[in-house]
């Protein structure tokens, strides 16, 4: 297989050399060129025909956002990974870039890191992102057949919580799903989005400003109520626990799972332990397999799992892992996920109410 051809656009000669050295260690990636500004980078794209571009956010002249805007006009399907600093300003601009069509992002190694640490971080994270983004495919939405979906227990209760897991491409996917949930959505929503600290807080604020539900970054001890959406805090696993007659959020810094903290698997297993068959899980676009084990846990307990389809995913890694594990009930295009969620929640609660009325009549 031919290596992924990468163009590096960054005004820092140190960063350009660091990226070139880190990527040179992989036979799957080839740096075909570098550019010291957005203007030069735009001129090199038609010359080099890269499969993917890495783009610095803060550059003099044509900055990262302006360069990204031009790339999206001229090359709408060309994957772009933004490079930002792990600061509030960097997080704000990164979320803006993602909303404008950036495929993914990386935070630059800290100035405190040694060269060896910086190189290893880039090798571990960036190469995997590049290979995944360059390998995007197409797919279609399907109801999962019995031969694909694994066996599960019958539902014993109505859906009482919606749990969502996502990663690469997730901020835009969440911006499509969460604002479409109705104001009277009858169950709480808990979300794991793979992101570092600062980013999750700003993501929650951005979603809250466009949603009818109250979207907040998770806080330990907060009670779960309908009308709320809780986004897991960066660098903390999020779980739920019974407290009296209610359920509260817990945060911990246990070891990462799948190199992720927060991890979808930990959230999914936690909600299943508390709510049993009353869980609806959704797994959307993202690299890797986080969520597959937790989705199987939900389904084995009698809950339901909806996954995003390949065609609408930035990376069909996490949803595919769920499907391959036999833990998906339905594969949906992104545009249909909120409608499918509302339908399943409403139907389960109506059926439960009907069963209760029949028992009372007897």
Within a domain: 219: yes
Within a domain: 362: no
**Residue 127 sits in the same domain as residue 146:** no
Residue that is last in its domain, among 101, 134, 167 = 134
List all residues 6 or more positions away from 116 whose beta carbon is below 8 Å from its beta carbon. none
Residue that is last in its domain, among 113, 134, 155 = 134
**Residue 182 sits in the same domain as residue 126:** no
Confidence at residue 147, expressed as pLDDT on a 0 to 100 scale: 38
Confidence at residue 150, expressed as pLDDT on a 0 to 100 scale: 61
**Residue 32 sits in the same domain as residue 58:** yes
- Structurally, how many domains does the chain consist of? 2
Alpha carbon distance 299, 327 (integer Å) = 6
**Residue 217 sits in the same domain as residue 70:** no
Confidence band of 361 (pLDDT split at 50, 70, 90): very low
CA dihedral 208, 211, 212, 213 (to 10 degrees): -50
Mean pLDDT score across all residues of the chain: 91
**Residue 268 sits in the same domain as residue 332:** yes
List all residues 6 or more positions away from 34 whose beta carbon is below 8 Å from its beta carbon. 7, 8, 9, 10, 16, 19, 20
**Residue 244 sits in the same domain as residue 342:** yes
Give whole-number Cα distances, 44 to 11, 41, 85, 160, 187, in Å. Answer: 15, 5, 25, 53, 50
Full residue range of the structural domain in which residue 249 is found: 142-357
Confidence at residue 14, expressed as pLDDT on a 0 to 100 scale: 87
- Helix pair 88-99, 64-74: axis angle to 10 deg: 10
User: Which domain CATH number covers 290?
Assistant: 3.40.50.180
**Residue 270 sits in the same domain as residue 193:** yes
**Residue 192 sits in the same domain as residue 256:** yes
Within a domain: 301: yes
pLDDT tens per residue, range 258-304: 999 999 999 999 999 999 999 999 999 999 999 999 999 999 999 99
Q: Which residues are known to be catalytic?
A: 167, 194, 290
DSSP at 53? E
pTM value is 0.91
pLDDT tens per residue, range 256-270: 999 999 999 999 999
Give whole-number Cα distances, 345 to 129, 174, 197, 280, 333, in Å. Answer: 34, 18, 31, 8, 18
Confidence at residue 122, expressed as pLDDT on a 0 to 100 scale: 82
Confidence at residue 155, expressed as pLDDT on a 0 to 100 scale: 65
Asked if 287 contacts 76 with a C-beta cutoff of 8 angstroms, the reply is: no
pLDDT tens per residue, range 141-180: 445 544 346 666 666 689 999 999 999 999 999 999 999 9
Within a domain: 261: yes
Confidence at residue 158, expressed as pLDDT on a 0 to 100 scale: 95
As a whole number, mean pLDDT of residues 31-55 equals: 97
Q: Per the structure block, which two tokens stand in for 329?
A: 């009930």
pLDDT tens per residue, range 81-91: 999 887 888 89
Q: Per the structure block, which two tokens stand in for 183?
A: 């104001």
């Amino acid at each position: 297989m031919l290596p992924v051809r990468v163009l590096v656009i960054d005004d820092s000669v140190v960063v350009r050399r660091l990226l070139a050295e880190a990527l040179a260690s992989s036979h799957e990636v080839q740096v075909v060129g570098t550019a010291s500004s957005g203007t030069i980078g735009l001129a090199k794209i038609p010359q080099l025909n890269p499969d993917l571009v890495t783009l610095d956010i803060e550059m003099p002249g044509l900055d990262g956002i302006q360069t990204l805007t031009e790339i999206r006009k001229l090359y709408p399907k060309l994957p772009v990974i933004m490079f930002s600093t792990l600061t509030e300003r960097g997080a704000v601009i990164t979320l803006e870039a993602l909303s404008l069509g950036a495929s993914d992002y990386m935070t630059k190694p800290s100035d405190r890191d040694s060269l060896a640490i910086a190189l290893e971080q880039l090798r571990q994270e960036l190469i995997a992102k590049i290979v995944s983004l360059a390998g995007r495919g197409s797919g279609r939405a399907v109801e999962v057949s019995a031969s694909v979906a694994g066996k599960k227990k019958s539902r014993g209760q109505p859906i009482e919580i919606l749990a969502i897991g996502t990663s690469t491409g997730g901020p835009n996917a969440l911006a499509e799903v969460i604002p479409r949930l109705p104001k009277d959505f009858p169950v709480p929503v808990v979300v794991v989005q793979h992101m570092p600290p600062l980013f999750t807080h700003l993501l929650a604020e951005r979603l809250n400003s466009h949603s009818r539900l109250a979207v907040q970054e998770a806080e330990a001890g907060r009670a779960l109520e309908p009308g709320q959406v809780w986004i897991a805090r960066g660098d903390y696993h999020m779980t739920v626990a019974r407290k009296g007659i209610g359920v509260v959020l817990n945060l911990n810094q246990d070891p990462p799972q799948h190199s992720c903290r927060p991890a979808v698997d930990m959230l999914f297993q936690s909600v299943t332990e508390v709510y049993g068959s009353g869980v609806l899980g959704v797994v959307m676009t993202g690299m890797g397999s986080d969520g597959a084990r937790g989705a199987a846990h939900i389904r084995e307990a009698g809950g339901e799992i909806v996954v995003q389809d390949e065609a609408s995913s930035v990376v069909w890694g996490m949803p595919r892992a769920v499907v391959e594990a036999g833990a998906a009930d339905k594969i949906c295009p992104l545009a249909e996920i909120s409608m499918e969620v509302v339908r399943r929640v409403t139907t389960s609660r109506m059926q439960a109410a009907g069963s209760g009325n029949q028992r009372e009549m007897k």
